Structures are given as structure tokens and as C-alpha cells.
Structure 1
Amino acid sequence: MSRNDRSSGRRNNKPSGSRGDRTSGGKQSGRQGGGQRKKSYARGNAPIKKKMEKSPLSNADGIRLNKYIANSGVCSRREADMYIAAGNVTVNGETITEMGYRVKLEDDVRFDGRRLNPEKPEYILLNKPAGFFVTGNPEKGGRTVMELVSKATKAKVSPVGKLDNQAKGLLLFTNDGTLAKKLAKPKNGIRQIYQVTLDKNLSQEDMDSMKKGVYIEGSKVIITDISYIENRPHNEVGIELNSIKEHIVTRIFKSLGYEVESLDRVVFGGLTKKDLPRGRHRNLTEQEVINLGML
């Protein structure tokens, strides 16, 4: 017998109860068969619904630990499982090795001792206008800088350092707690340049004195450079320093008998106001973030 014949033979010798017979039987059974199928379908849904009710996937239960770690940018979920099993991860001070462990956003999750942030790191630079508070809302109707960056990201970012209400200039926002802490308390300070307008001309004698350093509350503040702004009155000066103490520029001039009428931070670290109009913001480049991390 040829192959075609053998194949044909198999097709023509269907066993009893084959699909073809069931289809035929279904047509003969009519409504009764249809009614049985609906009843079976209804019974089949019951255990599925019950299973879904027991599923622990609600927001209140948080997210899986490996996803939390992956979201922080440390590694992939698969790699996170390996690190968890190896004991590299702690949650609220306790080492966790359980696969599928769930955490909440407010938990203290650390990888090799470094606290993780499950949100994508964001770095936003604002050219702050005068009249905006950096933190809090001390006066009724007062506006904060958060209004100016509210549409920049959905992440919970915070300003690094402070600027007075009437001060202008560069202000960095981030949700990267590690970098923010590093910039807030750098070993040698962070380079900052301000353009300052005083209530009167700065004398050459006072300028020379400032170049030697100024004592504020018994602590010496080193002024890297200070000079008059070219082609401007001598009450407008540029001052460079690394101190991160609050109100430091105002306090320096006040100690010498000057009042600051206008203060504009034009350089912060390696960041400048170039192509950034007043009141506008932009995201930092990858290289800028790297440079800040090296300060």
C-alpha cells in the first residue's frame, strides 16, 4: 500500500467518539446539549473567582523585593534574587533571604549597606527667581520652589541645600538620597559662585581683607576669589567660595557692615546657568551627574 493509501485509510477509520461524532451528536442533542455547556461554564468560573479573591497582589502588600531592587537600578530582577539569597540585602535592618518577600515604599531597603530608592533617579536644575521659598511656606500665601518643578517629574524630588526667599540662581533637585547627602556635607565643600549687589560700594580694603578669609561665629570661611563685576558699579561683585553654611554670603558681608540687596548663584559645582532662563528648569546630563558624584 502506498503512503497516500495508508494516510487515506487512517482518515477513513475514525474511532467512535471522535470530534466529528461529538459534533454530530451535539447537533442532535439540540438545546439540552447547549444548556449543559452553560451550566458547566458557570460551575467552572466559581473556583477561579475564589482564587482571585485570595490573591495577595493588593497595593497594601507592597512589591516584591527583587522588583524593588531592580527599580533602584542596582541590577536585574534575576540578579537581585541571587543577591537576596546570598544575604546582601536587608530590610529595616534585618537580612532577608526569602524569595518573593514583599516590601513597602517606606521600608529601609539596603544593598551592601547602601539604602536603595525604588524610583528612577531624577536630577533637575532650576534657575530660581526671587520670591520663592525653598522649604516650607512660612508666610500666608508664600510660594515655594516645588511649584516651579512640579511638572518636571512625578518622582518625589527635594532641593539640595537652600537659597533665601529673595535669592536667585541655581538650585538642584533630586530623589537620589545618596548624592543629596554627599553634596550637603562634602568634605571640602562645593564650588559656588554668586553675583552680589550690595547697599553700598565695596571698598578695596574690605575686598583685600575678605581674600584672607572671614571669621563667622569663630569659624574661618575661606573665600576662593572675589572681584568687582566688570563695567559695573563697585557695589556689584562676584564671590566664589565652597562653604555650604546657611546664609553664608549674607553673613560674610554683614560682618563687614554691608547689606546684600540681591544675590544670584550662577555656578553650583560644575553646573552653570548657560541656556537656562530665570524660572526654567532642565534635567542634568548623565555626565553632569557623574561629575557631581565625584565632588
Structure 2
Amino acid sequence: MSRDNKSRAGKFSGRQGGGKSKKSMARGNAPIKKSQSAPSPASKSDGIRLNKYIANAGICSRRDADIFISAGNVTVNGNVVTEMGYKVAPTDDVKFDGRSVNPEKAEYFVLNKPKGIYVTGSTEKGGKTVMDIMAKATRAKLDPIGKLDTQAMGLLVFTNDGTLAKKLGKPKNGIRQIYHVSLTKPLSFEHLDKVRKGIFLEDGKVNIQDISFIADRPKNEIGIETKSTKNHVIQRMFKSMGFEVEKLDRVVFGGLTKKDLPRGRFRRLTDQEVINLGMH
């Protein structure tokens, strides 16, 4: 097995390196019991070969997938499958070392969203959505992580990695976000202190990591950092104090920034950026 493929497979399975024997790799699946009634490939003539399914997910090559399959590292619908040439259907639950396998290779992008673009479709208004922009990126079915209001601008991450999307979408995980906010009237230092202490809204308290005026700009322009995943949280927070948001721009998401990413453009995330997001 190539060093590159070992690395990817080890990363996916939560183990570093590939120095263990195939028998020891199989023993790593101890919590999963092999069913007495193993699934039959007879009815899967129109399915996809299991090794190709795993390779398509970007875990390793087909040849290396065969090694992991024979070692008992792969299950289909809860059953260990060691048969070469076994075929799976799109509806089957395939797992590699206990983790679900996406038949598509995981892809990750970041978009600098323009103003007036819907994040989700609007059948009533028929407006353009971010998916119209991202359709040019890949054939994979991407979904945005988190939300961004129609009139808001800035960073929005897309992926077909359901595990990462679910993790980052949980309120308890909270991912660092910094917004450039422009209000319709100046803010006072008293209001800054009030925000720092936390604003209570109808769905609970909004905790703010930091807030400050933007240097050399009018007092109606501020920078605000939060990990909140509440809907329309910035607008609602200022509205509760009698202010209206004129412009909202997310300039930082996790460790991602808008540097060298013009408005309306997207780019693929680097491997390190994906790793950093997964650590949140």
C-alpha cells in the first residue's frame, strides 16, 4: 500500500500510520459482530463494487480497499463483508472502521457571498441562491454549513461531508465568526458594554466573545465576534437595543478569512483548512 493511501485510510479510521498487520486491523472492529446471515450480493447486480464505493469516498485506492475489506474493516448494513466483488446499493449503510462512508469524495469550498443572494431557495420570490453560484464548483451535491441572511454578505462554507456539517451546526460546538456590522446610527460605549455582558433575546442569551469600534471608521461601524448559531442573531441583538443593521459582512469563519477571495467568488479549501474546521 502506498504511503499516501495508508495516511488517508489511517486518518479516516482515527489511527495514525499503517504499520499494523491485517489481522490486527480486523481486530480493531471487535465491537462489530459478524452476522450469521451475511448480506447476499445476488440482488446487487446493478450496484457498485464495494472497493470502488470506498475509493470514490477518497479513503484509499481500490486495491487498498480490497485489503481492508479482506481484513474485516468494512461493514454493510451492520455486517462485516470480506467478499471480493461484493456490490452495494446507494441505500446501503457502508462503514469503514465504524464510520459511515460517503460514496462521493468529500469536497469543501468557501464562498464570499454577495448581498441579495438567498442561501436557501425561495419559491415565493424566485430569487437567485448560492447554489446557483456553487453549481459551477463541482458535480457533487454540496450544502452550506450554517446560515447567512439574504442581505448579509461574507464567508459561507459548503461541503458534501455530512459528518462535518452536522458537527459545526451544533450550537454546543460553536465556531468562531467575526462580522463587520454597519448600523443606521452611531453606537455608544455604553451599548458596547451591554453587548459584552450578553444580550437576552426570546430564545436565550447571546454570548459575545468581543465587540469594538472599527479603527478610523464612523462609530456606526463595529466588529463583533460570536460563536452563536441562533437565527438572525446580529440583527435581533441590535434591534433589541433600538438599532437597525444596514450592512452585515461575515469576514471570519473558523480560521477562514476573505483574503484574496473577491465578492461572489469561491475557492476549494486546503487540506489543512479542512483539518482546522474539524477541530472546532
Q: Please report the TM-score for the alignment, with normalisation by the length of structure 2.
A: 0.78
CA contact (8 A) 2:48 2:88 kept: yes
Deviation at 1:255, TM superposition (A): 2.0
User: 1:279 aligned to 261, 264, 279, which one?
Assistant: 264
Give the aligned residue type for 1:75. Answer: C
User: 1:110 aligned to 88, 95, 99, which one?
Assistant: 95
Deviation at 1:132, TM superposition (A): 1.0
Give the alignment of 1:108-187 within 5 angstroms. Answer: 108-185=93-170, 187=172
RMSD over aligned CA atoms reads 2.1
Question: Secondary structure of the equivalent of 1:143?
Answer: coil
Deviation at 1:86, TM superposition (A): 4.1
Pairing 1:217–2:218 present:
no
Q: Among all aligned residue pairs of Structure 1 and Structure 2, give the percentage whose two residues are the same amino acid.
A: 68
Give the alignment of 1:193-232 within 5 angstroms. Answer: 193-217=178-202, 219-232=204-217
Q: Distance in 1 between matches of 2:223 and 2:229?
A: 17
Which residue matches 1:249? 234
Pairing 1:270–2:255 present:
yes
Deviation at 1:85, TM superposition (A): 3.7
Superposed CA offset, 1:98-123 (max 9, x none):
33221133432211221111222211
Q: After alignment, is 184-193 or 269-278 more displaced? A: 184-193
Consecutive unaligned residues of structure 2, counting only runs of 5 or more, are 1-40
Which residue matches 1:98? 83
Deviation at 1:159, TM superposition (A): 0.7
Question: Secondary structure of the equivalent of 2:124?
Answer: coil
CA distance 1:231–1:147, shift in 2 (3 Å): same
Q: Distance in 1 between matches of 2:173 and 2:197?
A: 18
Deviation at 1:274, TM superposition (A): 0.5
Q: Distance in 1 between matches of 2:147 and 2:45?
A: 35
Q: Distance in 2 between matches of 1:63 and 1:273?
A: 40
Q: Distance in 2 between matches of 1:108 and 1:262?
A: 44
CA distance 1:259–1:72, shift in 2 (3 Å): same
| Structure whose residues are more often helix by fraction | 1
Consecutive unaligned residues of structure 1, counting only runs of 5 or more, are 1-55
Deviation at 1:95, TM superposition (A): 3.7
User: 1:61 aligned to 29, 41, 46, which one?
Assistant: 46
Q: Distance in 2 between matches of 1:259 and 1:93?
A: 53
Deviation at 1:281, TM superposition (A): 0.8
How many residues get paired?
A: 238
- Rg larger for: 1
